[in-house]
């Protein structure tokens, strides 16, 4: 089997092959390193790989396998991640000059859990500066390219991670999502990504942006792979007081349950932001597929999204400005203009308004869940309201035009950071520009399993994930 | 606590610095902040403000489908 063929497998399948001894971890790791060093560099997705360390770890996994010992479900599987997950003693630059020499002394809980499950850490991938932006632009490190067309944005802030998974050079990856930074790049790059319920996955050791809104979750080539990684990384963490003690379900075990009878809600009225006609057409077609699988499509009047988006922005601006205050005072010249444009407003917002915005989250969540989820099991929206923009047409520095673009791109995804509800982005085909479109499915608190089940059913029915950008 | 212990009481109120006093903030950023604050006041004025800092996490737990977990 060629190295390229090895990389075509989904994570679940290649992990099974390693476990069965059909292929060695070294072969798979060598293939991934070679692809990331070539195609990954072409996409400007790679910061730094630890080839020697990864190959040594792969050899150790192969020895253990030969002895019948397995670390966990990801035994010997090589993965590269966003450059914001701390590993003790290794740089974590978070896409910025300001932290270009930062070496943490702790390891992120999610990386510790991946390690324990047997995954091999290949290295660090490019991202938007400080994870603050939905397009993927980063003037400091260079903007990663969309593997379907390098003239288009890959989405952000998990730009490098999404690009490498989509290009079939990274099996799956970790992302963070404070305002769509998992779901947006997943949609732009034609892969799946899930933002779990707030409290489902630990943020300890992940670079903080806005602690009330930050979520960590996986991006992958299938919902089955998302289920695999989410099961590994989810669960209570004493180092993150916001994590739930709720048991982690067997996500993979319920993936194949039929979706017949599930009630999928769709907005019966116009959103405040108009949806591009071609995007809407694709979204409608995806509903027809789900209906053909036995789901019941329920049209209902949704609450306006604007209040959630306004309050989310206020909270994020204040919390980000608080974290960045020292650097805004001393290293302002090192920031991207796009980052500054979204940090400065937080310096001019009153503490009373910030506290009020935080305090209404619980009542607004209760109102949303009681008014929406008494009629449906999950909600369906487009992930992005427009076709994916080109890099050049959307690279507008820190201008108001850029801020407006980011706000519009985040219209459907950001409410669920404020509400903390789980949400998955699933590809639903391609638009006339040849770039992917995606649907977002939103679930009840801690019901990631239903989202993964519906995503899996849709992927199986349509075959939407069966070819990559280089096929 | 005495002024020497750092409670700030020896300073006239007008001398307490703004947390962001020496940070440059553009007019556009100030306008964004003002618009968001105005909107937040509209949205929060009639809503019950839950003063428990753990209220949001507890609400997510309580609203999850199925049997409640402990």
DSSP state letters, A33-76: HHHIIIIIHHTT-EEEE-HHHHHHHHHHHHHHHHTT---STTTT
Q: Taking CB atoms and an 8 Å limit, are A199 and B60 in contact across chains?
A: yes
Task: Work out the minimum CA distance from B7 to partner chain A, whole angstroms.
Answer: 20
CB contact under 8 Å between A310 and B43, yes or no, is yes
**H/E stretch holding A1:** none
d(CA A181, CA A175): 7
What's the DSSP call for residue A428?
A: E
Q: How far apart are CA A291 and CA A85, in angstroms?
A: 39
Which residues have C-beta within 8 Å of that of residue A177, sequence separation ≥ 6? Answer: A158, A183, A193, A195, A214, A215, A216, A217, A413, A417
CB atoms within 10 A of CB A151: 13
pLDDT computed for residue B67 by the predictor: 58
Q: Is A59 exposed, middle or buried (0-12, 13-18, 19+ CB in 10 A)?
A: middle
To the query of whether residue A181 is one of the catalytic residues in this protein, the response is yes
Most A CBs within 10 Å, among B56, B57, B62, to test the A interface: B56
Q: Which two tokens stand for residue A337?
A: 């203009």
Please identify which of the residues A24, A25, A94, A157 carries the catalytic annotation: A157
pLDDT given at position B1: 41
pLDDT-derived band at B5, boundaries 50, 70, 90: low
DSSP-H helix ranges across A223-335: 223-233, 277-292, 306-330
Tell me whether residues B55 and A366 touch, CB distance under 8 A: no
Distance between CA atoms of residues A423 and A193, nearest Å: 9
Residue A157: cis peptide before it, omega within 30 degrees of 0:
yes
Query: Are A438 and A187 a contacting pair, CB within 8 Å?
Result: yes
Place of tokens 């992927």: A459
ipTM > 0.85, yes or no: yes
Task: Select from A311, A321, A366 the Cβ nearest to the Cβ of B59.
Answer: A366
Q: Assign residue A56 a region: left if phi > 0, alpha if psi is -120 to 50, beta otherwise?
A: alpha
Backbone angles phi, psi at A275, to 5 degrees: -100, 135
- Compute the distance between CA of residue A131 and CA of residue A163 in angstroms, rounded to an integer: 15
Regarding pTM above 0.90, the answer is: yes
What confidence score (pLDDT) does residue B56 get? 94
Q: Are A286 and A438 in contact (CB under 8 A)?
A: no
Other Cβ atoms closer than 10 A to B65: 13
Nearest to A197 among B28, B48, B60 (CB): B60
**DSSP notation for A434-459:** S-EEEEEEEESTT-HHHHHHHHHHHH
Residues in chain A closer than 8 A to B65 (CB atoms): 373, 444-447
Q: Do A365 and B43 touch (CB under 8 A)?
A: no
Name the burial class of residue A8, with classes exposed (0-12), middle (13-18) and buried (19+) by CB atoms within 10 angstroms of its CB.
Answer: middle
Question: What is the mean predicted confidence (pLDDT) over B7-35?
Answer: 79
User: Euclidean distance between the first and final Cα of chain B, in Å?
Assistant: 42
Q: Which of A7, A4, A9, A14 is nearest to A75 (CA)?
A: A14
pLDDT of residue B3: 44
d(CA A303, CA A282): 23
A370 is a catalytic site residue:
no
Q: What's the residue count for chain B?
A: 70
CB-CB neighbours of A273 under 10 Å: 14
Do the chains contact at A344 and B22, CB–CB below 8 Å? no
The catalytically annotated residue of A94, A158, A181, A286 is A181
On chain B, the residues whose CB falls within 8 A of the CB of A321 are 20
Residue of A344, A361, A369 to mutate for B, most B C-beta atoms under 10 A: A344
Say how many Å lie between the first and final Cα of chain A, rounded.
17
Q: What is the pLDDT of residue A58?
A: 98
Which residues, 6 or more positions from A214, have their beta carbon under 8 angstroms from its beta carbon? A176, A177, A178, A203, A206, A208
Beta-carbon count within 10 A of B56 CB: 25
Nearest to A175 by CA among A222, A226, A140: A226
The predicted pLDDT at position A402 comes to: 83
Q: What is the pLDDT along chain A (471 residues), one digit of tens a residue?
A: 899 999 999 999 999 999 999 999 999 999 999 999 999 999 999 999 999 999 999 999 999 999 999 999 999 999 999 999 999 999 999 999 999 999 999 999 999 999 999 999 999 999 999 999 999 999 999 999 999 999 999 999 999 999 999 999 999 999 999 999 999 999 999 999 999 999 999 999 999 999 999 999 999 999 999 999 999 999 999 999 999 999 999 999 999 999 999 999 999 999 999 999 999 999 999 999 999 999 999 999 999 999 999 999 999 999 999 999 999 999 999 999 999 999 999 999 999 999 999 999 999 999 999 999 999 999 999 999 999 999 998 887 778 888 889 999 999 999 999 999 999 999 999 999 999 999 999 999 999 999 999 999 999 999 998 889 988
CB contact under 8 A, A366 and B28: no
Q: Output b/e per residue, A330-354; b: 16+ Cβ within 10 A.
A: eeeeebbebbbbbbbbbbbbeeebb
Q: Reduce the DSSP state of residue A464 to 3 states and report it.
A: coil
- Among A254, A222, A217, residue whose Cα is nearest residue A234: A217
Contact B59 A346 (CB under 8 A): no
Quick check: A216 and A114 in contact, CB under 8 A? no
């Amino acid at each position: 089997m060629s190295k390229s063929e090895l990389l075509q497998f989904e994570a679940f399948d290649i992990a099974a092959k390693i476990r069965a001894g059909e292929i060695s971890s070294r072969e798979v790791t060598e293939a991934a390193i070679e692809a990331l060093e070539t195609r990954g560099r072409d996409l400007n997705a790679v910061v730094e790989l630890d080839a020697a360390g990864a190959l040594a770890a792969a050899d150790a996994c192969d020895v253990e396998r030969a002895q019948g010992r397995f670390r966990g479900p990801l035994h010997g599987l090589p993965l590269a991640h966003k450059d914001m997950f701390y590993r003790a003693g290794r740089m974590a630059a978070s896409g910025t000059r300001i932290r270009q020499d930062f070496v943490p002394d702790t390891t992120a809980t999610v990386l510790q859990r991946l390690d324990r499950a047997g995954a091999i850490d290949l290295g660090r991938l490019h991202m938007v500066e400080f994870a603050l932006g939905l397009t993927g632009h980063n003037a400091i490190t260079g903007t990663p390219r969309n593997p379907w067309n390098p003239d288009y944005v890959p989405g952000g802030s998990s730009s490098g991670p999404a690009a490498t998974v989509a290009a079939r050079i990274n099996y799956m990856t970790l992302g963070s999502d404070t305002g769509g930074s998992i779901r947006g790049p997943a949609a732009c790059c034609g892969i799946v990504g899930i933002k779990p319920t707030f409290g489902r996955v630990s943020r300890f050791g992940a670079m903080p942006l806005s602690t009330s809104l930050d979520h960590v979750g996986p991006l992958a080539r299938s919902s089955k792979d998302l289920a695999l990684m989410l099961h590994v990384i989810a669960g209570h963490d004493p180092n993150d007081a916001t994590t739930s003690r709720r048991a982690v379900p067997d996500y993979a075990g319920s993936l194949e349950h039929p979706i017949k009878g599930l009630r999928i809600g769709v907005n019966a009225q116009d959103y405040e932001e108009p949806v591009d006609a071609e995007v809407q057409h694709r979204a409608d077609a995806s509903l027809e597929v789900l209906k053909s699988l036995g789901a019941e499509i329920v049209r209902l009047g949704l609450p306006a999204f604007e209040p959630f988006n306004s309050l989310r922005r206020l909270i994020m601006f204040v919390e980000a400005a608080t974290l960045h205050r020292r650097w805004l005072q001393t290293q302002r010249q090192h920031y991207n203009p796009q980052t500054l444009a979204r940090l400065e407003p937080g310096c001019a917002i009153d503490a009373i308004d910030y506290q009020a915005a935080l305090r209404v989250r619980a009542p607004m969540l209760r109102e949303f869940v009681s008014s929406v989820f008494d009629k449906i099991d999950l909600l369906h929206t487009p992930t992005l309201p427009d076709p994916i923009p080109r890099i050049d047409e959307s690279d507008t520095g820190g201008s108001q035009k850029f801020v407006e673009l980011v706000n519009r791109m985040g219209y459907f995804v950001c409410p669920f950071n404020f509400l903390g509800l789980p949400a998955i982005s699933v590809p639903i085909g391609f638009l006339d520009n040849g770039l992917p479109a995606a649907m977002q499915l939103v679930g009840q608190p801690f019901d990631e399993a239903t989202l993964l089940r519906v995503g899996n059913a849709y992927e199986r029915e349509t075959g939407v994930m069966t070819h990559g950008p280089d096929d | 606590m005495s002024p020497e212990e750092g409670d700030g009481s020896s300073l006239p109120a007008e001398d307490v610095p703004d947390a962001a006093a020496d940070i440059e903030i553009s007019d556009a950023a100030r306008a964004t902040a003002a618009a968001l604050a105005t909107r937040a006041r509209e949205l929060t004025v009639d809503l019950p403000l839950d003063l428990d800092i753990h209220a949001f996490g507890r609400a997510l737990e309580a609203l999850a489908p199925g049997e409640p977990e402990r």
